[in-house]
Structure formats: structure tokens, C-alpha cells
Structure 1
């Protein structure tokens, strides 16, 4: 059966980010490669990305590759999204994630009607975006990463204040990595859907692959993505190994 073009394109992105001679196993399973400059995780960490029934794992140094490969062979691919499961077979010191990786095609995109809302464009780096980040707090602002956006930023105002914003950062393989942020006092009213829809439409018009990454526990963000037509295709997990079995 031919592979889903959306899944194939997403895999191509992460194969490139792995910065090693490796690819997702077409029939399923785990592929491990030594890649000190991997873009799957922080420097010196082990990066894991699962898409479909296959996983890509990068290890920073050769001396740990064999142990990591042997350990992960004991786990089903789906367990690689679970830090506690990985901790059972590897000496995990710290974990980032899991994050859910979602993508949308032009055919599946569900644009949102703005109704009476007016969506404006601001340049990336506009001072009003910094004020929105301050109101949202460090964790939410860090995940939205509005300061890394390279596209126009689509915003909604209330009483002159920017209360929701969305845009994307240009990633390799013609990918648009979405960032969406809403002020705490303006949440629950669909503003993330409105600004996110505008950013996704802009990315698709440019022929880019929209990517939505959300913490697995971030139910609200995942619901927004699903409402726009995004499909959850996989997960990303990064671990820092401690001394011990690997």
C-alpha cells in the first residue's frame, strides 16, 4: 500500500534533522544512528521521533549507540513516546516531552471563518508580541516561541491590546513550524483557532508543510490543531542519559 504523502513528507523532515545517514524503516521498527549534531534533541542528548509505525533515534556518541540500540529493541515502537517506559531500559537523567507531532494537507485543512473578528498582521519581533508573551508566562511563551517566527504574525486585538497571535518559523524541507499564543484572560473563545487558521492558510499558500507540535498533556492545544484539520502522526521525546546501563 502506498505511504500517506503527509507521513512521507513529515518523515523526510525529521530524517534531514537527524543529520545522519538514517531513515525511518518502511516496514516499522527503530532505526538508531550516531549523530552529534542531531536536530532531534538538545546537544548531547538522545533524540527520538516516532512517525507511524517507525521511529528514528539519534545518539550523540558511538560508545553508547550499541547499548541504546539493544535497549530499545526490547520496547514496542509506541513505547518510545513514554519517558517512564524508556527509563526501564535506559539510565534516564532528564526528559523533554513527549510532544505530539501533527500535520495538515491542503485537502484536509479546515479554515476558520473570522466572523466579526478582525485579524491583523504584525512583523515578527513587534513589541506588542513581547507584551503578549509576558502576560502568558514563561512556559506557554516558550512553547509558542513567537520570538522565532519568520512569517508575518497574525493577531487579534481586544480594546487595542493584542490578545492572540500565530505565525510560523521556517524549518528545513519547506516546513512551517507553527507558534500560537493567547493571553490567559482571552482563552476559551476560539481566538487560537482564528489566528492559527490564518497562519496555516499563509503557509499552505506558500507550498509549505504546516507542523503543529504540542506537549502530549496540552489538551487545549491539541484540540485547536484537530479543529483545523491536523492529523497526529507521531511523537518526539528527548532524553539525557545518566551513568549506568548505557
Structure 2
């Protein structure tokens, strides 16, 4: 049975159109796709950086990567400067974690409806909501309430093996109370019980989420930037 890391490697090999055996070849590598909607995705795994971009951006990307090392490939300002004429929106850097067997005490599963999630999200900065993924299509939600209002929600979105990509959003006034850990543990447990795998992503400047990943026993996998142009 493949490990969670091996299953994640298979996924990213397909994204970057390379064989799993060479996915982690050291250095900076590019994949260009004929997809007019694609932006730029930069993934670092150990000493390897993989960049996926649409073909129309080849000139800008190749020009920048000729100057980038593995160590600075995830520096947002380098990309912002090189792509200035395209008005890029840069998300990250974010950290990726994977898990294969989460068995932590958690509150009972409680599922908010879509309207509750939308009402909660409307009171939180849009960038935080987008990073969490809780408003993406085809997601499964788990929640926690206070005084009748939804204040913490985790989401399972499609990834390897089914809905295994975990997102989390907590209302600012209720952070630091353990509610995020409770609903995240529910989502992680459901994903790993069903598929033997879960993925967790969070911004590296979100210290609370980084600490939460460690408390939940998740294993570091890689880092990324997402760039929209």
C-alpha cells in the first residue's frame, strides 16, 4: 500500500506531467500547458522546485527562472517584480502537510448547511476565506456553533482518494479557544478513515495554523506559491 507521501507524489507527478520517479529531481523545473485559464503554480519539495504555467507566460517565467535558485523560488517579491505588467495576485507561500492515520479525540460530527457557512464567511476578510477553501464547490463541511451562530468550520474538498483536502476557517472573535482544532480533527479523521489520506495546507505566516498542524500530528510535505495573472 503506498504511503501518504507516495500518493501525494503521484498526484503532483500528474500535475507537472512527469514520472513519479523524477518528480523530486533536484533543481528548478518548468511545465507549460495550453490552458488559457491557468496561472502559475510553484511547488517546492525538498531540493526540488516545480513550476507549472500556461504557455503564453513562457517568456516571463523562463526569464525569471534563469535567475532563481531553489532557495528563493518561493519569494513572492521576486515573482511580483518579474510579473509586474500582469498585475499578479500572489497567494502564499503556504505549507503542505499529509496524514494517513489520524485518531485524535474530536467532537461529534456536526454539519452546517451552505447558508450558515456563507453567512459566517461574509464576516471574515475575503483573502482568509479564499485561503481556507470552505466556499469551494463540492465540499463537505463540519462546524462548531456559539450562541446559535456558526463560528468554526472545516471543509473536505476533492483531492486524492475522494474528499481528502482539509480547509479551516474560524471567526476572528473565537480564535484561540480550540474550536478550530476540534472541527479540523473531525475532518481529518473522516478523510483518513475513508481514504487513508488527508492533506492540510496553510499560509506559512499563519502561526496558529502551523502550530495546529503539528498538534494534529500531520507530516510536512512541501511548500507552494499560487500566482494569478
Q: TM-score, normalised by structure 1?
A: 0.76
Is the counterpart of residue 228 in structure 1 residue 221 in structure 2?
no
Partner of 1:161: 149
Aligned pairs for 1:19-58 within 5 A: 20-21=17-18, 25-37=23-35, 43-58=37-52
The CA distance in 1 between the partners of 2:150 and 2:51, in whole Å, is: 40
The CA distance in 1 between the partners of 2:163 and 2:132, in whole Å, is: 16
- Cα distance, 1:206 vs structure 2: 0.9
Partner of 1:244: none
* SS of match in other structure, 1:9: helix
Is the counterpart of residue 100 in structure 1 residue 94 in structure 2?
yes
The CA distance in 1 between the partners of 2:189 and 2:154, in whole Å, is: 11
CA RMSD across the alignment: 3.0
The CA distance in 1 between the partners of 2:162 and 2:31, in whole Å, is: 24
Q: Report if aligned partners of 2:4, 2:99 keep a CA contact under 8 Å in 1.
A: yes
Q: Report if aligned partners of 1:13, 1:175 keep a CA contact under 8 Å in 2.
A: no
* SS of match in other structure, 2:195: coil
Q: TM-score, normalised by structure 2?
A: 0.81
Partner of 1:8: 6
- Cα distance, 1:173 vs structure 2: 5.5
Aligned equivalent of 2:171, options 183, 192, 197: 183
- Cα distance, 1:221 vs structure 2: 1.9
The CA distance in 2 between the partners of 1:209 and 1:78, in whole Å, is: 29
The CA distance in 1 between the partners of 2:77 and 2:139, in whole Å, is: 37
- Cα distance, 1:209 vs structure 2: 2.8
Partner of 1:84: 77
* SS of match in other structure, 1:33: strand
Gaps of 5+ in 1: 242-246
* SS of match in other structure, 2:202: strand
- Cα distance, 1:77 vs structure 2: 1.4
Closer/same/farther in 2, CA of residues 238 and 100 from structure 1, 3 Å limit:
closer
Which aligned segments of 4 or more residues in structure 1 are displaced greater than 6 angstroms? none
Gaps of 5+ in 2: none
